[in-house]
């Protein structure tokens, strides 16, 4: 079963977002809680960067230029450990490869958009925006005003990341560890991952990817995720093909 | 050990990683011809399921060994809520509440 198999634009479908503005507001609202989850990440990144002597300006520049938390953290840690430029770039690329797959999976939702507009939208692609947009576009009426929804949600997450970075860089990480704020990270991914498991092939892909990730030996950072995702994609596609 | 002040290496890294990350994001999104075939679409449809659960495990693994059992239980409670409600706020609220209750 593929409840969201038909991704073609259905502009006549009923919608709870009658205008582009309403769709943008909906994007903002759907991403607002996720943005609350992004904020502590940003603070942790800004605080770590300051600890390493980066300064608020450079931390913010990094968050604007790269806008990808896991890769930014990895670059910081490896830079502290004295890694070479080539290693820093390669590790970040491997960690961020999934963003390319997100782009590919989202592209069919914006088939008629001009290249220039898609080029601007691409900058906003994150884990959170990807999962939220895909869920929204699969809803009844979710095909309308997709760009507005995407940009509204994307800018919300972007602002949260930049705000968190600046707060962390200027104030440092001041939350007591006993609050367990870092637990927000897995929770955000649970909130994104679980509703995305729509059929047997999805469940098979998820189990295969997680088992691969857990079973892999100690590999360079970022690589286990790429390998696990590859196995998940293969198993999911095979199960999908064999399901009548 | 704290490295010396933001060296040209780090600044160059920021620019290069930024450009590379943008190129990755834009590649299949801006020029989707490579992904338009039904076979590729069939694979891309599994992207959320193949990546997001791994990010759950990898971020959960960042906990200390003493934290891990309680955090895993709280994560399972949150997953149950996510399954039932598809609601981000409820998932985060129940997950954090479960963690605090069990750690208290």
Which chain B residues are within 8 Å of A239, Cβ to Cβ?
none
Contacts of A146 (CB under 8 A, 6+ apart): A23, A109, A110, A133, A136, A137
Which chain A residues are within 8 Å of B60, Cβ to Cβ?
186
H/E run at residue A161: helix A146-171
CA A116 distance to own-chain centroid: 22
CA A204 distance to own-chain centroid: 22
Q: Is the CB of A187 inside 8 Å of chain B's CB atoms?
A: yes
Give residue for tokens 């938390």: A69
Dmax (CA) for chain A in angstroms is: 58
Write down the pLDDT at residue A4. 42
How close does chain B come to A150, measured CA to CA in Å? 13
Write down the pLDDT at residue A16. 64
pLDDT digits (tens, 9 = 90+) for B13-34: 999 999 999 999 999 999 877 7
Half-sphere exposure of A41 (CA within 13 A, CB side): 28
| Alpha carbon distances (Å) from A233 to A94, A218, B36, B74 | 17, 22, 17, 28
Helix, coil or strand: residue A5? coil
pLDDT digits (tens, 9 = 90+) for A12-70: 334 466 799 999 999 999 999 999 989 988 998 998 898 888 888 889 999 999 999 99
How close does chain B come to A139, measured CA to CA in Å? 13
Q: Is the CB of A111 inside 8 Å of chain B's CB atoms?
A: yes
Question: Do residues A33 and B89 lie in contact, with contact meaning Cβ atoms separated by under 8 Å?
Answer: yes
Q: What is the pTM of this model?
A: 0.85
How close does chain B come to A25, measured CA to CA in Å? 17
Q: Is the CB of A120 inside 8 Å of chain B's CB atoms?
A: no
How close does chain A come to B63, measured CA to CA in Å? 8
Res A162 pLDDT > 50: yes
Write down the pLDDT at residue B3. 45
The reply to whether residue A58 touches residue B11, judged by beta carbons under 8 angstroms, is yes
Q: In this complex, how many residue pairs, one in chain A and one in chain B, have their CB atoms less than 8 Å apart?
A: 275
Lowest pLDDT segment from A12-16, A41-45, B87-91, B92-96: A12-16
Res A216 pLDDT > 60: yes
- Please name the member of B2, B34, B79 whose beta carbon is closest to the beta carbon of A190: B79
Instruction: Provide the residue count of chain B.
Output: 104
Write down the pLDDT at residue B6. 61
**How far is Cα B41 from Cα B39, in angstroms, rounded to an integer?**
5
- Residue A236: closest CA among A210, A193, A195, A204: A204
- Residue A96: closest CA among A1, A229, A207, A197: A229
**How far is Cα A237 from Cα A240, in angstroms, rounded to an integer?**
5
**How far is Cα A198 from Cα A188, in angstroms, rounded to an integer?**
18
């Amino acid at each position: 079963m593929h409840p969201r198999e038909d991704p073609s634009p259905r502009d006549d479908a009923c919608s709870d977002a009658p205008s582009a503005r309403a769709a943008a507001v909906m994007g903002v609202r759907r991403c607002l809680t996720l943005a609350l989850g992004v904020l502590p990440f940003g603070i942790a990144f800004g605080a770590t960067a300051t600890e390493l002597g980066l300064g608020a300006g450079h931390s913010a520049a990094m968050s604007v230029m790269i806008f990808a938390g896991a890769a930014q953290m990895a670059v910081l840690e490896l830079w502290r450990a004295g890694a070479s430029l080539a290693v820093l770039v390669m590790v970040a690329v491997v960690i961020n490869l999934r963003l390319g797959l997100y782009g590919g999976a989202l592209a069919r939702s914006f088939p008629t958009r001009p290249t220039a507009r898609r080029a601007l939208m691409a900058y906003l692609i994150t884990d959170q925006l990807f999962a939220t947009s895909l869920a929204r576009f699969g809803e009844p009426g979710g095909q309308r005003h997709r760009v507005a929804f995407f940009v509204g949600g994307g800018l919300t997450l972007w602002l949260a990341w930049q705000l968190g970075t600046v707060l962390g860089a200027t104030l440092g990480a001041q939350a007591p560890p006993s609050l367990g704020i870092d637990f927000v990270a897995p929770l955000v991914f649970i909130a994104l991952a679980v509703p995305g498991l729509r059929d047997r092939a999805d469940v098979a892909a998820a189990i295969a990817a997680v088992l691969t990730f857990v079973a892999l030996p100690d590999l360079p950072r970022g690589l286990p995720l790429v390998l696990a995702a590859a196995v998940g994609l293969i198993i999911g596609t095979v199960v999908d093909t064999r399901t009548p | 050990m704290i490295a010396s002040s933001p060296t040209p290496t780090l600044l160059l890294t920021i620019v290069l990683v930024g450009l590379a990350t943008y190129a990755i994001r834009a590649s299949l999104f801006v020029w989707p011809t490579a992904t338009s075939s039904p076979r590729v679409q069939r694979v891309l449809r599994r992207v959320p399921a193949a990546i997001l659960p791994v990010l759950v495990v990898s971020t959960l693994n960042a906990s200390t060994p003493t934290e891990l059992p309680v955090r895993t239980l709280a994560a399972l409670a949150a997953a149950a809520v996510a399954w039932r409600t598809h609601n981000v706020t409820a998932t985060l609220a129940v997950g954090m509440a479960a963690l605090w209750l069990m750690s208290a």
